[in-house]
A and B are shown apart, each in its own frame.
Chain A
Amino acid sequence: AQSVAQPEDQVNVAEGNPLTVKCTYSVSGNPYLFWYVQYPNRGLQFLLKYITGDNLVKGSYGFEAEFNKSQTSFHLKKPSALVSDSALYFCAVRASLSGGSYIPTFGRGTSLIVHP
């Protein structure tokens, strides 16, 4: 079965420091990987995706993610964290279902807390 795992329920970082939110995946075939962010009382918002090409993907709000095939990882990174980055972050992978359809399957989410 195709899935993603986010090993940390919560990540704490000081404002101005670099941040990393971890994601590992398990898929058969080429992975399609995504990061979304959820602010309080809001729906999820797309940050970035990897389909093919460069392993370093740049996205919204200064975020980037590095695809590592050998480690089956797709960690989200930002060089300098802002308090406003505090939110719930979801990694997702395109997963196949019976019947040949594909849908995004989400990890359980990681709460990022940026301290002033």
Chain B
Amino acid sequence: DSGVTQTPKHLITATGQRVTLRCSPRSGDLSVYWYQQSLDQGLQFLIQYYNGEERAKGNILERFSAQQFPDLHSELNLSSLELGDSALYFCASSAHSSGANVLTFGAGSRLTVL
């Protein structure tokens, strides 16, 4: 157990729907990162939060949004889902946001869009 908790582990939904993925960072970590892993794109950075504020943005689609709450857990919202959104979504956390920190990853949420 890495200490980073992601729910749900698996999610199957239909095109056009909206889902929310949840992440609880490791105790004491202030920074949360979201990554998307797919076979054709590899591991793509989506967005980072640090202590409740958005810190960095990657290749995140406008249909996707995220936030980090005062208790430091984070949610990734995916809307108007398309088949191509099927992927493994990882949350990772670190103590700080310098980029030199080691990331601790959760086990991922596997999203299947039918």
By a beta-carbon cutoff of 8 Å, the part of chain A in contact with chain B is 32, 34, 36, 41-46, 49, 51, 90, 94-97, 99, 101-109
Number of interface residues of B (CB under 8 A): 25
By a beta-carbon cutoff of 8 Å, the part of chain B in contact with chain A is 2, 4, 33, 35, 42-43, 45, 48, 55-58, 90, 92, 97-100, 102-108
The 6 closest A-B pairs by CB, nearest first: A102-B99, A43-B105, A101-B56, A108-B42, A94-B99, A106-B43
Question: Does the CB pair B43–A103 fall under 8 Å?
Answer: no
Interface of A is mostly: strand
Question: Does the CB pair A103–B2 fall under 8 Å?
Answer: no
Of the listed residues A42, A43, A108, the one surrounded by the most CB atoms of chain B closer than 10 A to its CB is A43
Question: Does the CB pair B56–A45 fall under 8 Å?
Answer: no
Question: Can you show 30 pairs from A to B with CB atoms below 8 A apart?
Answer: A32-B100, A34-B102, A36-B103, A36-B105, A41-B107, A42-B107, A43-B4, A43-B90, A43-B92, A44-B43, A44-B103, A45-B105, A49-B100, A49-B102, A90-B43, A94-B99, A95-B99, A96-B99, A99-B56, A102-B56, A102-B99, A103-B48, A103-B56, A104-B33, A106-B35, A106-B45, A107-B42, A108-B43, A109-B42, A109-B43
